Chains A and B, each alone.
Chain A
Amino acid sequence: MNTKRLATFLLGPAIAALPAAAAAQDVELATAEQIPDLSQLSIEELAQLPVRSASKRDEPLSAAPTALYVITGGDIVESGATSLPEVLRMAPNLQVQQVNGREYAITARGFNSTETSNKLLVLMDGRSVYSTLASSVFWDLHAPLLEDIRQIEVISGPGGTLYGPNAVNGVISVNSRDARDTIGALLRGTAGAFERTAAGRYGFALGDNGAVRAYANWFDREDLRQGPIGPLIDDSFRGWQAGFRADVGSGSDHFTLQGDIFDNETDSLPGDGNQGHNLLARWSRVLSDAASLRIQAYYDYFERRLLLTYDSLQTFDLEAQLNATLGNHELVVGGGIRTTRDEFVNNLNPFRLNPSSRRLWVYNAFLQDRISLTPELSLIAGLKIEETSFTGIELLPNLRIAWQPSPRTLLWAAASRAVRTPSRIDRQLEFLPLLAPATAFESEKLIAFEAGYRGQLSDSTTLSVSLFYNLYDDIRTTEFQPGGGLPIQLMNGLEGNSYGLEAWGSAQLTSWWRLSFGLSTLFKDFRVKPGHFDLAQRDSLGHDPDFQLFARSQMNLTDRLQATAALRYVDSIDSAPPIGGYVEADASLSYRLSDLVELYVAGRNLLHRTHIESNDAQRGQLVQRSIYAGTRLRF
């Protein structure tokens, strides 16, 4: 304590000398006047100085030629958010719809709704979590401890060669912290009229150069009100998730073992809810000056029960990746095998999967070369080959060019092909004599053209702009037999294009105040191909707003008091049944009482008592204002 006070005393003049606008994180132009003199402090005092955390642009990822948005662990904690989908609202290149108390629909570049947001790859520490039932992600199966997330990378557009299956419209990669960086205990609790959460984590060193942490996370959310579109449903939701992560690394080896287990329930019918577990092991090794290897394997299981339907999915996955530098070539070669066994039992209506349980296989192999043509210009050429039990071999090439005329400026362009391979429902849903399985259903295909700029306009401002033009083919339709008449079948009858702009940026106005903004637009132009007719009236295209606007303010008012506020405008959804656009705000105010205790109050959707985000006619409820108080203890 004494040392700390001394440090504060000694540091006072140094801090006073720091001009308010000195966001001296960019060091290229940082002038000596902006740099406080720390040379008089002892090494112990240096270790006690509170620091402002690094900004996104310090991440080496800034050289990646994709439309990439990074949500940092600091952003997550400051936001006061209590669930992963609410955290994802920070990414301007995602569209997040809260459908009801339990379900969210999330997509990038269109096709949103619980059933049609099926073109996204979501990775939890490298574990793919989209379901083979309908290629969609069940967000109610994931309640990680938000405080232990290192960062979330959100890519809009096909992720490129290195990401696995289903990366068509976007990739969300959630990365938790190395266990060696979460040593100690954390307890968090929040309480409000609408929602309560409690969580704990304990991390400790393991041997000489490793660490382990274990965590548990519990939540209880109230029922949402019935909206103008969906029926009244019992969507109160409560449950828990627990898990661990161990990291051991020394010299050239790094080994990770982690796992989670969860159980949650909803009030729809007695016994309704989800449960599951997973275990993942990853080993990375630096082989030489110019090569490294990574091998990963995981097992994942979940089952869901809702309204007399039951489905389960068991996944085994093995993947390996070798990086090597040869002259001015950076090569990445790798591959993976995944097998799933699912089961779908429906006692609610006569729709069945035939067979009701099935094992599927997905194989992929990839090769990417990043060629440095000049120090500023590089060309990235990649090819992924993918084969599934339902389709033959798919070739997924992508070509990118990155021009970095200065460390502060990146201009990039890309052309890629991506496919969404058929899900179980696409191929094997049946309700005879009305609906016959679509044994000929092919992959939905995308050819995407993108271009973007990412850079720093000044020491304290960043900007990222990307444009995309997507050409889709073979999107799902529901059709009569070619000659007319029953049974109807799912077919690949839609084609079209979409284009839009995504932009985001931030300005560090003063050393303690940061403003961020975001914008995304989407235009869709689709048609039923000649010889086809869509009984589902283009339902597979989803329900998307034309544009969204975001603004966020993050203020470190003192070294103890932080305030954040976020405002978003989401345009109307015009596809039937139409719903209006909305403006909503989230805010959080946090006070660090001591190194041990942090108190905060946070609110979501503060501007209206209720609003509607989804036009889902079966599930949509009114999203509600929620205010809660919380505390975090770290020791």
Chain B
Amino acid sequence: MSGNRHLLALAALATVLAAAPARAQLTEEQVKAAFLPRFARYVGWPAASQPTPGSAFQLCVIGRDPFGRMIEQAAASESIDGRGVQVRRLPSAAGAAACHLAFVQGTAPADTGRLLLALRRFPVLTVTDGRAGPQRGMIHFTIVSGRVRFFIDEAEASERGLSISSRLLALAAGVRQRR
């Protein structure tokens, strides 16, 4: 009987708490999707692979797509020196030579590793998500104190001829510096 009374008390508490005003929180994916096209602003590509004046940066989502339309919405409002960001989805690394930025996520961590390896031939800024496994691109999302942050592999980026602005590096949770 005393158990039932406790149950009632708990239910009452739950109802009171449920009625309390609450603020909605963004999902990790929403914030990550907002970051992705934004990175283009803080990265320099080799002259040969920069988009021609008037054409857009290519943001590729390779493998799994955890973002859907969120990423198109984020890309739509991005304009860097008059150049927009165009989103493309690729099932594999084939056709990735034209990408400027690539969010890479395989069906399994090892699969992500394989995609990353295939992309090493091109000057593409690779981005991975810590949620999907330990394999890291040049930018690797992580969560620090409930905020979306990222690690930056500046050494890898510089080997591919990419330069990363100090403003982005300052935001990183950790940087692997260029030698």
In contact, B145 and A292 (Cβ under 8 angstroms) = no
Known contacts A15-B24, A51-B27, A511-B25: does B142 contact A181 (CB below 8 Å)?
yes
Nearest CB of A to B88, in Å: 16
In contact, B22 and A51 (Cβ under 8 angstroms) = no
In contact, A43 and B38 (Cβ under 8 angstroms) = yes
Please pick, from A30, A58, A183, A555, the residue contacting B174 in the complex, using a CB distance under 8 A. Answer: A183
Is B97 an interface residue when CB atoms closer than 8 A count as contact? no
Please pick, from B69, B77, B136, the residue contacting A30 in the complex, using a CB distance under 8 A. Answer: B69
CA distance A31 to B68 in the complex (A): 10
CA distance A557 to B15 in the complex (A): 12
CA distance A211 to B134 in the complex (A): 13
CA distance A37 to B77 in the complex (A): 10
Nearest CB of B to A16, in Å: 9
Which residues in chain A, 62-121, are within 8 Å of chain B measured between CB atoms?
Answer: 63
Which residues in chain B, 67-93, are within 8 Å of chain A measured between CB atoms?
Answer: 67-70, 73-74, 76-78, 93
Complex contacts, A607 vs chain B, CB 8 Å: 3, 6-7
CA distance A27 to B22 in the complex (A): 23
Please pick, from A53, A180, A558, A634, the residue contacting B22 in the complex, using a CB distance under 8 A. Answer: A558
Known contacts A54-B131, A60-B132, A290-B114: does B24 contact A39 (CB below 8 Å)?
no
Residue of B whose beta carbon sits closest to that of A64: B108
Contact digits for A39-57, partner B, Cβ 8 Å, 1 yes 0 no? 1010110111111111000
CA distance A183 to B70 in the complex (A): 30
In contact, A47 and B108 (Cβ under 8 angstroms) = no
In contact, A30 and B171 (Cβ under 8 angstroms) = no
In contact, A180 and B26 (Cβ under 8 angstroms) = no
Interface segment out of the listed A220-228, A250-258, A542-550: A250-258
Nearest CB of A to B59, in Å: 14
Is A249 an interface residue when CB atoms closer than 8 A count as contact? yes
Please pick, from B18, B77, B114, the residue contacting A288 in the complex, using a CB distance under 8 A. Answer: B114
CA distance A286 to B93 in the complex (A): 15
Contact digits for B110-135, partner A, Cβ 8 Å, 1 yes 0 no? 10011111101000000000111111
CA distance A36 to B142 in the complex (A): 21
Most buried by A among B133, B147, B168: B147
Is A205 an interface residue when CB atoms closer than 8 A count as contact? yes
Complex contacts, B151 vs chain A, CB 8 Å: 180
In contact, A25 and B93 (Cβ under 8 angstroms) = no
Complex contacts, A47 vs chain B, CB 8 Å: 147-149, 171
Known contacts A46-B148, A47-B149, A49-B148: does B22 contact A512 (CB below 8 Å)?
yes
Please pick, from B38, B136, B155, the residue contacting A249 in the complex, using a CB distance under 8 A. Answer: B136
In contact, A52 and B114 (Cβ under 8 angstroms) = no
Complex contacts, A291 vs chain B, CB 8 Å: 114
Nearest CB of A to B48, in Å: 23
Contact digits for B168-179, partner A, Cβ 8 Å, 1 yes 0 no? 100101101100
Number of A-B contacts (CB under 8 A): 206
Is A553 an interface residue when CB atoms closer than 8 A count as contact? yes
Please pick, from A30, A288, A587, the residue contacting B10 in the complex, using a CB distance under 8 A. Answer: A587
Which residues in chain A, 2-53, are within 8 Å of chain B measured between CB atoms?
Answer: 15, 18, 20, 22, 24-25, 27-28, 30-32, 35-39, 41, 43-44, 46-53
Contact digits for A312-340, partner B, Cβ 8 Å, 1 yes 0 no? 00000000000101000000000000000
Nearest CB of B to A402, in Å: 12
In contact, A209 and B153 (Cβ under 8 angstroms) = yes
Please pick, from B2, B38, B132, the residue contacting A608 in the complex, using a CB distance under 8 A. Answer: B2
Complex contacts, B17 vs chain A, CB 8 Å: 555, 557, 563
Is A513 an interface residue when CB atoms closer than 8 A count as contact? yes
Is A595 an interface residue when CB atoms closer than 8 A count as contact? yes
Contact digits for A363-397, partner B, Cβ 8 Å, 1 yes 0 no? 00000000000000000000000000000000000
Is A198 an interface residue when CB atoms closer than 8 A count as contact? no
Nearest CB of B to A77, in Å: 11
Residue of A whose beta carbon sits closest to that of B105: A60
Contact digits for A172-202, partner B, Cβ 8 Å, 1 yes 0 no? 0000001011010000000000000000000
Nearest CB of A to B72, in Å: 9
Known contacts A27-B67, A511-B25, A558-B22: does B30 contact A38 (CB below 8 Å)?
yes
Complex contacts, A54 vs chain B, CB 8 Å: 27-29, 131
Nearest CB of A to B149, in Å: 6
Complex contacts, A63 vs chain B, CB 8 Å: 107
Nearest CB of B to A76, in Å: 15
Is A525 an interface residue when CB atoms closer than 8 A count as contact? no
Please pick, from B29, B105, B142, B174, the residue contacting A205 in the complex, using a CB distance under 8 A. Answer: B174
Nearest CB of A to B60, in Å: 17
Complex contacts, A587 vs chain B, CB 8 Å: 10
Which residues in chain B, 17-57, are within 8 Å of chain A measured between CB atoms?
Answer: 17-18, 20-31, 34-35, 38, 41-42
Nearest CB of A to B96, in Å: 12
Complex contacts, A39 vs chain B, CB 8 Å: 34, 74, 76-78
Please pick, from B18, B69, B117, the residue contacting A289 in the complex, using a CB distance under 8 A. Answer: B117
Complex contacts, A512 vs chain B, CB 8 Å: 22-25
In contact, B22 and A557 (Cβ under 8 angstroms) = yes
In contact, A585 and B174 (Cβ under 8 angstroms) = no
Is A247 an interface residue when CB atoms closer than 8 A count as contact? yes
Is B146 an interface residue when CB atoms closer than 8 A count as contact? yes
Nearest CB of B to A629, in Å: 17
Residue of B whose beta carbon sits closest to that of A584: B3
CA distance A205 to B114 in the complex (A): 26
In contact, A208 and B155 (Cβ under 8 angstroms) = yes
Please pick, from A25, A50, A565, the residue contacting B147 in the complex, using a CB distance under 8 A. Answer: A50
In contact, A50 and B167 (Cβ under 8 angstroms) = no
Complex contacts, B176 vs chain A, CB 8 Å: 208-209, 250
Is A559 an interface residue when CB atoms closer than 8 A count as contact? yes
CA distance A257 to B152 in the complex (A): 23
Selected A-B contacts with CB under 8 Å, 16 pairs: A27-B69, A49-B31, A50-B26, A52-B28, A53-B28, A53-B143, A53-B146, A63-B107, A211-B174, A249-B134, A250-B176, A510-B24, A565-B14, A587-B10, A595-B145, A607-B6
Binding site for A on B (CB under 8 A): 2-3, 6-7, 10, 14, 17-18, 20-31, 34-35, 38, 41-42, 64-70, 73-74, 76-78, 93, 105-108, 110, 113-118, 120, 130-136, 142-143, 145-149, 151, 153, 155-156, 167-168, 171, 173-174, 176-177
Q: Supply 14 further A-B pairs (C-beta < 8 A) apart from A53-B28, A63-B107, A247-B134.
A: A22-B24, A27-B29, A41-B34, A46-B31, A46-B34, A48-B147, A49-B147, A180-B142, A183-B173, A286-B116, A510-B24, A511-B25, A587-B10, A608-B3
Q: Which 5 A-B pairs have the closest CB atoms?
A: A27-B68, A286-B113, A39-B77, A38-B34, A292-B110
